[in-house]
Amino acid sequence: MSERFEKFFSLSSQNMKRSAIREILKLTQKPEMISFAGGLPSPDSFPIEDVKKIAVEVLEEEGAAALQYGTTEGDIKLRSLLAERHKSQGVNLTTDNIVITTGSQQALDLLGKIFINPGDYVVCGLPSYLGGLNAFSVYGAKFRGIALDNYGMIPDELERVLNELEQEQKRVKFIYIIPDFQNPAGVTIPRERRLEIIRIAERHNLLIVEDSPYREVRFEGEAQPLMYALDSSGIVITLHTFSKVFAPGFRLAWVLAHPDIIDKIVIAKQAADLCSPVFLQKIAARYIEKGLLDINLEKIIKLYRERRDHMLKCLTEEMPAGVSWTEPQGGLFLFVTLPPSVDAARLLERAIKKNVAFVCGSVFYCNDEGHNTIRINFSYAGHDETCIGIKRLAEAIREETA
């Protein structure tokens, strides 16, 4: 980078990092490239015809309001419908507990803005979602990672690390956690462990940021309650998004939290974008009201279950000995562990030459571990592409281990 403008950039801009995932996506634009890198929903899941009809309805019946500025909190009808939806799932809340944001990524950024001072600690999983780590880093956050097992964040490890940080007089603001089909590990935290983590947070007087973009994309097994629903003291803040169950291009998401926290988010959002797109909020509201969200969700679940099963089959048939992977009950990702001698970054260079791409697992670790892990997305590629891509990846691994 040229040094011409360096003196103008802020200290917080120096904490910004390019998204490793977005950078890899630039490399995957070639038509012959098979990419397992992005967290992209399948275009086959997009309800294009429904959106066309509803968009016309909104313009005909609410055109002036739909094209005008809206409230920062979000469209009241959309928030009311979301509140009713959550109530039907056993969550006690009102519209005062909901704010609409321009994607979950904006919500992560706003939480960083209102909670984090330079040097504050965020406790997160090992591994954890890169977009969350990057959003908090901008505001000067430091991180301590907690190991995961097959049931998510390990409570004993969490307690130990929090005690250590207290002894070191480090200021911790919140625990960042993805309890359902964790990105990237794919694991889900059972109810009792969720309660245990909430009790630990209460003992240490901490907030919990529950990132829940994949929750409704469950293929099998019993749905676990939101941590927000289990929380009786108002310490859980939950992030949801329409990106995985409706349309990522709408950039619409919502936050559940105590009204005092919602108010602070609203103030921060006013400085960011005034309001999220009103037209798109009104389309989303009608889409839910007509029952189309649940109809399309059934289609998405069926599609992604088939693609997960197909990818697991291809992995079983093609992967060499010493390679293992998770088998998530939902979501969009598998997490693959390579033999200890394999460096995923070096493997990626070899894989790119074979026209297949993935994300190195190390970018999801706040402690520079995970260099022999990779994240693979199974929602985007079709069956034929998946088999060819996994074959290419297995060849690259064999060559690397040789």
The residues of the chain that CATH labels 3.40.640.10 are 68-292
Q: Give me the average pLDDT of each 10-residue run along the chain (402 residues).
A: 78 73 63 90 96 98 98 98 95 96 98 98 97 96 97 98 98 98 96 98 98 97 97 97 97 98 98 97 98 97 98 98 96 97 96 95 96 97 96 97 88
Separation between Cα atoms, residue 381 and residue 37, nearest integer Å: 10
What DSSP designation does 173 have? E
Pairwise CA distance, residues 326 & 150, whole Å: 9
Spatial contact of 268 and 114, defined as CB atoms under 8 Å apart: yes
Residue type, 113: K
- Write out the residue limits of the CATH 3.90.1150.10 domain(s) in the chain: 6-47+294-401
**What φ, ψ does residue 103 adopt, rounded to 5°?**
85, 155
Report pLDDT for 1.
54
Q: What is the pLDDT of residue 17?
A: 72
Q: Is 207 helix (H, G, I), strand (E, B) or coil?
A: strand
Are 336 and 374 spatial neighbours (Cβ–Cβ below 8 Å)? Answer: yes
Q: Burial letters for 209-241: b for 16+ Cβ neighbours within 10 Å, e otherwise? A: bbbbbbbbbbbeeeebebbbbbbeeebbbbbbb
Query: Does the domain made of 6-47+294-401 have the CATH classification 3.20.20.60?
Result: no
* CB-based contact 184:375 (threshold 8 Å): yes
The confidence score (pLDDT) of residue 4 equals 82
- Identify the CATH class of 68-292: alpha beta
Beta bridge partners of 373: 337
Cβ neighbours of residue 381 under 8 Å, at least 6 residues apart? 34, 35, 36, 307, 389
Q: What is the pLDDT of residue 13?
A: 80
**What pLDDT score was predicted for residue 5?**
86
What pTM value is reported for the model?
0.94
CA distance 278 to 376: 34
The set of residues, in sequence order, having a beta carbon less than 8 Å from that of 350 and lying 6+ positions away, is 396, 399, 400
The partner residues of 124 in beta bridges, in order of sequence, read: 145, 176
Question: How far is Cα 190 from Cα 121, in angstroms, rounded to an integer?
Answer: 26
Given a contact cutoff of 8 angstroms between Cβ atoms, the answer to whether 141 and 108 are in contact is no
Give the helix, strand, coil percentages of the chain, each rounded to 5: 50, 15, 35
Cβ-based neighbour number of residue 23 at 10 Å: 12
- Helix (H), strand (E), coil (C) string for 114-130: HHCCCCCEEEEEECCCH
